[in-house]
Structure 1
Amino acid sequence: MGLESADKGVLMAEFKELDKDGSGYLSRDELKYALTRLYENIDLKLTDADIQSLLNQADKNKDGKIQIEEFMTLI
Protein backbone atom coordinates (compact mmCIF):
# COMPACT_ATOMS: atom_id res chain seq x y z
CA MET A 1 0.00 0.00 0.00
CA GLY A 2 1.67 3.22 -1.18
CA LEU A 3 1.09 6.85 -0.51
CA GLU A 4 -1.82 8.42 -2.31
CA SER A 5 -1.04 11.30 -4.66
CA ALA A 6 -2.64 13.84 -2.30
CA ASP A 7 -0.55 12.50 0.60
CA LYS A 8 2.61 12.81 -1.48
CA GLY A 9 1.70 16.39 -2.33
CA VAL A 10 1.26 17.28 1.33
CA LEU A 11 4.56 15.64 2.26
CA MET A 12 6.38 17.37 -0.60
CA ALA A 13 4.99 20.73 0.49
CA GLU A 14 6.05 20.06 4.07
CA PHE A 15 9.51 19.00 2.90
CA LYS A 16 9.93 22.19 0.87
CA GLU A 17 8.85 24.28 3.87
CA LEU A 18 11.40 22.55 6.10
CA ASP A 19 14.17 22.81 3.50
CA LYS A 20 14.99 26.38 4.51
CA ASP A 21 18.00 26.75 2.21
CA GLY A 22 16.31 25.13 -0.81
CA SER A 23 19.08 22.54 -1.16
CA GLY A 24 16.73 19.65 -1.98
CA TYR A 25 17.55 17.82 1.22
CA LEU A 26 17.14 18.30 4.95
CA SER A 27 20.28 18.87 6.95
CA ARG A 28 20.60 17.58 10.50
CA ASP A 29 19.60 21.03 11.82
CA GLU A 30 16.57 21.26 9.54
CA LEU A 31 15.50 17.76 10.55
CA LYS A 32 16.05 18.58 14.22
CA TYR A 33 13.82 21.64 13.90
CA ALA A 34 11.09 19.63 12.14
CA LEU A 35 11.12 16.75 14.60
CA THR A 36 11.29 19.01 17.64
CA ARG A 37 8.28 20.95 16.36
CA LEU A 38 6.38 17.76 15.53
CA TYR A 39 7.05 16.03 18.83
CA GLU A 40 6.35 19.14 20.91
CA ASN A 41 2.83 19.03 19.50
CA ILE A 42 2.36 15.66 21.20
CA ASP A 43 4.25 16.78 24.33
CA LEU A 44 7.29 14.56 23.79
CA LYS A 45 10.81 15.95 24.12
CA LEU A 46 13.54 14.56 21.89
CA THR A 47 17.18 14.45 22.91
CA ASP A 48 20.01 15.00 20.44
CA ALA A 49 20.62 11.24 20.60
CA ASP A 50 16.97 10.59 19.65
CA ILE A 51 17.25 12.93 16.68
CA GLN A 52 20.54 11.35 15.55
CA SER A 53 18.96 7.90 15.80
CA LEU A 54 16.01 8.99 13.64
CA LEU A 55 18.39 10.59 11.15
CA ASN A 56 20.46 7.41 10.98
CA GLN A 57 17.34 5.29 10.41
CA ALA A 58 15.98 7.54 7.66
CA ASP A 59 19.30 8.21 5.91
CA LYS A 60 19.30 5.11 3.71
CA ASN A 61 22.25 6.19 1.54
CA LYS A 62 24.26 7.33 4.59
CA ASP A 63 25.15 10.76 3.24
CA GLY A 64 24.10 12.60 6.39
CA LYS A 65 21.19 14.31 4.63
CA ILE A 66 17.53 13.46 4.18
CA GLN A 67 16.25 13.55 0.60
CA ILE A 68 12.52 13.75 -0.13
CA GLU A 69 12.23 9.96 -0.60
CA GLU A 70 13.88 9.33 2.77
CA PHE A 71 11.67 11.98 4.38
CA MET A 72 8.56 10.23 3.11
CA THR A 73 9.62 6.97 4.76
CA LEU A 74 10.49 8.80 7.99
CA ILE A 75 7.06 10.39 8.25
Structure 2
Amino acid sequence: MLKIRFKRSGRKKQPFYKIVVMDVKTKRDGKALEELGFYNPITKTLNINCERTIMRLKNGVQPTEVVKNLLRKSSIF
Protein backbone atom coordinates (compact mmCIF):
# COMPACT_ATOMS: atom_id res chain seq x y z
CA MET A 1 0.00 0.00 0.00
CA LEU A 2 1.33 3.43 -0.92
CA LYS A 3 1.10 6.57 1.21
CA ILE A 4 1.94 10.24 0.78
CA ARG A 5 4.11 11.08 3.77
CA PHE A 6 7.08 13.05 5.09
CA LYS A 7 10.73 12.18 4.56
CA ARG A 8 12.89 14.07 7.05
CA SER A 9 16.02 15.90 6.00
CA GLY A 10 17.85 18.98 7.21
CA ARG A 11 20.18 19.42 10.15
CA LYS A 12 19.91 18.63 13.82
CA LYS A 13 17.08 20.72 15.36
CA GLN A 14 16.37 22.25 11.93
CA PRO A 15 13.97 19.82 10.28
CA PHE A 16 13.02 20.03 6.63
CA TYR A 17 10.51 17.56 5.20
CA LYS A 18 10.09 16.29 1.67
CA ILE A 19 6.56 15.20 0.77
CA VAL A 20 6.96 11.87 -0.99
CA VAL A 21 5.10 8.76 -2.13
CA MET A 22 6.40 5.66 -0.35
CA ASP A 23 5.35 2.13 0.46
CA VAL A 24 3.96 1.71 3.98
CA LYS A 25 6.68 -0.80 4.91
CA THR A 26 9.55 1.50 3.89
CA LYS A 27 11.56 3.27 6.60
CA ARG A 28 10.92 6.99 7.12
CA ASP A 29 14.13 8.02 5.37
CA GLY A 30 14.12 5.14 2.89
CA LYS A 31 13.82 5.24 -0.86
CA ALA A 32 10.83 7.19 -2.17
CA LEU A 33 8.94 6.37 -5.34
CA GLU A 34 8.23 10.02 -6.16
CA GLU A 35 8.87 13.41 -4.59
CA LEU A 36 5.80 15.66 -4.61
CA GLY A 37 7.07 18.72 -2.75
CA PHE A 38 8.55 19.96 0.51
CA TYR A 39 7.57 21.57 3.82
CA ASN A 40 9.75 23.69 6.08
CA PRO A 41 8.11 23.95 9.54
CA ILE A 42 10.49 26.69 10.71
CA THR A 43 9.55 29.20 8.00
CA LYS A 44 6.14 27.56 7.30
CA THR A 45 7.08 27.19 3.62
CA LEU A 46 5.00 24.69 1.65
CA ASN A 47 5.60 23.77 -1.98
CA ILE A 48 3.57 20.98 -3.59
CA ASN A 49 3.31 19.78 -7.19
CA CYS A 50 -0.50 19.95 -7.39
CA GLU A 51 -0.84 18.06 -10.66
CA ARG A 52 1.12 15.00 -9.52
CA THR A 53 -0.46 15.02 -6.05
CA ILE A 54 -4.01 15.05 -7.44
CA MET A 55 -3.08 12.26 -9.86
CA ARG A 56 -1.71 10.14 -7.00
CA LEU A 57 -4.79 10.78 -4.84
CA LYS A 58 -7.08 9.73 -7.71
CA ASN A 59 -5.08 6.51 -8.07
CA GLY A 60 -5.83 5.60 -4.44
CA VAL A 61 -2.71 6.72 -2.59
CA GLN A 62 -3.66 7.71 0.98
CA PRO A 63 -1.99 10.69 2.72
CA THR A 64 -0.97 10.57 6.37
CA GLU A 65 -2.90 12.77 8.81
CA VAL A 66 -0.26 15.53 8.91
CA VAL A 67 0.08 15.60 5.13
CA LYS A 68 -3.72 15.58 4.80
CA ASN A 69 -3.92 18.71 6.98
CA LEU A 70 -1.30 20.46 4.82
CA LEU A 71 -3.17 19.47 1.65
CA ARG A 72 -6.36 20.94 3.10
CA LYS A 73 -4.58 24.22 3.88
CA SER A 74 -3.37 24.40 0.29
CA SER A 75 -6.92 23.46 -0.90
CA ILE A 76 -5.84 20.31 -2.75
CA PHE A 77 -7.61 17.71 -0.58
Q: TM-score, normalised by structure 1?
A: 0.25
TM-score normalised per structure 2: 0.24
